[in-house]
Amino acid sequence: MLRYALKRLLLVVPTLLLVTVFVFGIVRAIPGDVVDMMREQFQYGRDAAELRARLGLDRPLVEQYLTWVGGVARGDPGLSLWAKRSTTADIAARFPVTVTLSLLSIAISLAVALPVGIYAAIEQDSLADYLARSAAVGALSIPSFWLGTLIVVVPSFYFNWAPSIGSYVPFREAPLANLAQFVLPALCLGVTQAGVIMRMTRGMMLEVLRQDYVRTAWSKGLASRAVIVRHALRNAMIPIVTVIGGQMPFYFGGSIVMEHIFGLPGMGSFVLEAVNRRDYPVIQAVNLFVVGLVIVSNLLVDLSYGALDPRLRQEA
Amino acid sequence: MANATMRRRDFLRAGAAAAALAATPGRGWAQGATPRRGGTLRIVGFEPPTFDIHGSVSFQTQLTSSFVHRTLFKYVNGEKYGASDFTLVPDIARKAVASKDGRTYTITLRKGVRWEKRAPLNGRELVAADVKYTWDRAVKKSAFANLLGSIEAVETPDTHTVRVRLADAYAPFLHNLAEPWNAILPHEVEDKLGDFKASESLVGCGPFVLERYEPGVKAVFARNPDYYEPGRPYLDRVEWLFLKDRGTQLSLFRAGQVDLPYYDGRIPRSEIAAFKKSNPGNPVHFWDWLAVRTLAFRTDKAPFNDVRVRRALSLAVDRKKWVAQYLEGQGYADHGPVPAPMHEWKIGGPDLGSGARWLEYNPALARKLLAEAGFPGGLKVKCTNWPGYGPELVEDLELLAFHLKAIGVELQIVNEEYGNYIRGSFLGKFDEASWGPSSIFTEVDGYLYNFFKSGEPNNRSHVSDNTLDVMLDAQRRYLARSSRKNAIDDIQRYTADQVYYVYTPYPKQVSSWGSRVKNLGMKNSFDKGAQLEVVWLEDAR
């Protein structure tokens, strides 16, 4: 297992290096240069060349890239071009919001999708199955931003009520109040993403439930719970876990929209502002961080394969 | 010379009257209402890109810093004053005296104005050296520096007197001192922090002090206990929320969680009926906004270097119908170059002379002019814009395209990303035409000099007209209002005839706020601190 984990970890290094090249290049491909922005939108500085030199943007791109990567390797992705603040400090302040929202959303997705998917598979072609499948298609069809907007707008229109927004309470000040702020956005995100996981769970469970070893388990007289959870679900989980891993970017991306609607100070609003201002170090740092998170979550998914399927451990 | 004396007298009279207004209890709010102290006002505001008022032209920076920083003069504020009433009242300054040639201003500062009692200022008195430091810095760093005229020298004869000498007489000088980008800054903050970019630099002498700043969430401003206006402000606190989603902003307002759904209480026109139904107790107020909406075109090249083509486009717009049908009467047909709410400067109709006829709706004449200019079959025009200004402006542009189509002009709308628009089209960098709202200016010069003077970055139509340049420079030198008015009337007549821009009809803004908010007046200014200084909450205890 350790060798397997190390092998997976080693593969992360070239991936991350490739990502740094991509992230560094893509922000510079956005139309509009930060120097023009500063001079023309916000009127910083008087001379473009002088400002460019002050920001270190007059150096060759390769040199800029190497400086940045060197900083990243030392844990210092640079300062915001506008605010002159450390991007690490800003990410550290905003990361807990995004990650809490993402994790809660995933938890809600799993809490909804797994039992419903399993039940629908067990009760195949029953009314409950049809209802569950319809609900899954419905959830897939509803964009989370639309659901979020609906939750905020409709009650205010008809009942003059809206969720408490605009007074973010940090976890260290009031843990329960902090978590309460995430319930609605996490529900919106979690429920809409649950459709994919529910359909995959149902499909895999149906396939596994038809396997000989499951039939054997039933014929041995094992309790339903043991057959379904220990024999069927565990074997159905690998593709489901793969889907969850693949969904990670959607959770992070969806969090950005939810933060906007529910006024949460996460990385979403931070990166949007940075893009609008062409604040290269911030965009690079956030992108690299998010990509890093996705890589780590995929790594965890890969590692979980080993835990779920002993054959993979042995192969590794 | 006589002009200069009148200007000075006009200003002193206005200043004295306004000072009396400011000092008299019971004025500036509805008769019979008694201001109450206390409470927290919650407003949807903005998180500024920087707190440096000289390092940015962002209105968000001006709005946010105005709670804390103060200017030498300010505009009258409160519900009884119009949105475009820019009568000056003393703020940090007590009075200003202009020399007869209009080149020297001697400004006497109010005594006893103190900076906040925290490091690095520790409550020291604001003195003339602070004003000199601020102006020296503004001239070096601010993109608005040209709006201070050409400052030759700033002297401080004593601790409470500042004398500024201009290279040339500049009529808008005193007016512009009331703009929030002209607030007085203390040098100690820059000495300590290196600049004014961070929220820690927001140390001032205004009605409020920054109590808390939560990035991405809100700024909380608390009453400054040492504020120099006795009894002000009435509010204990202002929560300035950084909520970005418009739907959320309006929902929170409906639910009573915020007192103003936008920094100026603005609500969409399309939502008026719904708001009246859902929140019948809240006032809904129409008011005059000053940003003009223009179709700018490249007058430096064909086909728009031909005045007949420009006139044809103007003749195609049925402005009266536009206002009556699409704006339901809540707007102005003739909205530019001087915005209609600037009543003291604005001329229209027959006063515009021969240029007035190009504001009429006459598609037949428009087609004839186009044919004479060599476009009998009409023409196609690429028109850039930024759709992010919102659905109402998108509809306005579509309406303009609809009118132009009737004379054979096909407006090919090119939607741009904000960054490209604001650094490109907004500054005249487009191929054929561009449509959108202007910045707002509280002084008429902003709508004339910036739009028409050769080489100015806001001269989107690339106007290069020596006659007009001379007129524009001249109006800046007239210190007597009557002489300046004549010059500005002439500019309006001249530009109406030349049609360097097509000004499309303009709607009034509509705002709403919680019924507990009292003495809130809409104002075409980003000096939010001064506006809220006179506001109180009915349910304050």
- Write b or e for each residue in A220-231: b if 16 or more Cβ atoms lie within 10 A of its Cβ, otherwise e: eeeeeeebbeeb
Q: What confidence score (pLDDT) does residue B15 get? A: 47
Predicted TM-score (pTM) of this structure:
0.83
Whether the pLDDT of residue B24 is over 60: the answer is no
Q: Which positions 429-468 of B are in contact with A (Cβ < 8 Å)?
A: 457
Q: Where are the beta strands (DSSP E) in B167-280?
A: 208-214, 218-223, 237-241
Q: CB-based contact (8 Å) between A280 and chain B?
A: no
Please say whether the beta carbons of A277 and A232 come within 8 A.
Answer: no
B22 pLDDT more than 70: no
- Per CB-CB distance under 8 Å, the chain B contacts of A165 are 243, 248, 252, 257
The model's confidence at residue A312, banded by pLDDT at 50, 70 and 90, is low
Strands (DSSP E) found in B99-217 = 104-109, 151-158, 161-166, 208-214
Residue range A46-95, pLDDT digits in tens:
567 777 887 888 889 899 999 998 998 888 888 888 777 788 888 888 88
Name which residue leads in pLDDT, A299 or B303. B303
Q: Do A153 and B215 touch (CB under 8 A)?
A: no
Q: pLDDT tens digit string along B27-41?
A: 334 445 789 999 999
Pairing relationship of beta strands B501-503 and B293-297 according to DSSP bridges = antiparallel
Going by pLDDT thresholds of 50, 70 and 90, the confidence category of residue B25 is very low
**What's the pLDDT tens digit per position in A245-289?**
888 888 888 888 899 899 899 888 788 888 877 888 999 998 888
For chain B, percent of residues with pLDDT exceeding 70: 94
Looking at residue B440, what DSSP letter applies? -
Sign of CA dihedral A223, A226, A229, A231: negative
pLDDT at B437 over 80: yes
What's the pLDDT score for residue B519?
97
Separation of alpha carbons B171 and B487, rounded Å: 12
Question: What interhelical angle do A144-159 and B246-254 show, nearest 10?
Answer: 20
Q: Which residues on chain A are in Cβ contact (under 8 Å) with B214? A: 168, 265
Are B55 and B40 in contact, with CB atoms under 8 Å apart?
no
Q: Is B251 on the interface with A (CB under 8 A)?
A: yes
Q: Is the pLDDT of residue A44 over 50?
A: no
Facing B216 at nearest CB: one of A94, A149, A276: A94
Name A47's Cβ contacts closer than 8 Å, sequence gap at least 6.
none
Phi-psi region of B523 (alpha: psi -120 to 50; beta: other; left: phi over 0): beta
Residues with Cβ < 8 Å from B150, sequence gap 6 or more? Answer: B166, B167, B168, B170
Taking 60 as the threshold, does the pLDDT of residue B350 lie above it?
Answer: yes
- Write the pLDDT tens digit of every residue in B155-170: 999 999 999 999 999 9
Does position B150 have pLDDT exceeding 80, yes or no?
A: yes
The interface residues of chain B toward chain A in range 352-391, judged by CB-CB distance below 8 A, are none
pLDDT of residue B255: 94
Question: Concatenated DSSP letters for A67-119?
Answer: HHHHHHHTT---B-TTT--BHHHHHHHHHHHHHHHHHHHHHHHHHHHHHHHHH
Query: What span, in angstroms and rounded, lies between the C-alpha atoms of A201 and A126?
Result: 17
What pLDDT, on the 0 to 100 scale, is given for residue B279? 93
Quickly state the pLDDT bin for B324 (edges 50, 70, 90): very high
Is it the case that residue A137 has pLDDT exceeding 60? yes
Residue B93 predicted with pLDDT over 60 = yes
C-alpha to C-alpha distance for B38 and B36, rounded to whole angstroms? 7
Is residue B236 classed as helix, strand or coil in its secondary structure? coil
The ipTM assigned to this model is 0.77
Which of A183, A185, A202 has its CA nearest to residue A135? A202
Q: 3-state class of B7 per DSSP?
A: helix
Residues 6+ apart with CB under 8 A from B411: B381, B383, B397, B400, B401, B404, B405, B433
pLDDT score for A39:
65
pLDDT the model gives residue A298: 80
pLDDT tier at A12 (50, 70, 90 boundaries)?
Answer: confident
Largest CA distance in chain B: 73
Q: Is the pLDDT of residue B10 over 50?
A: no
Q: Is the pLDDT of residue B12 over 60?
A: no
* Cβ of residue B177 closer than 8 Å to a chain A Cβ: no
Whole-angstrom Cα distance, residue B404 to residue B332?
19
| Greatest extent of chain A over all pairs of C-alpha atoms, in Å | 83
State mean pLDDT over B352-380: 95
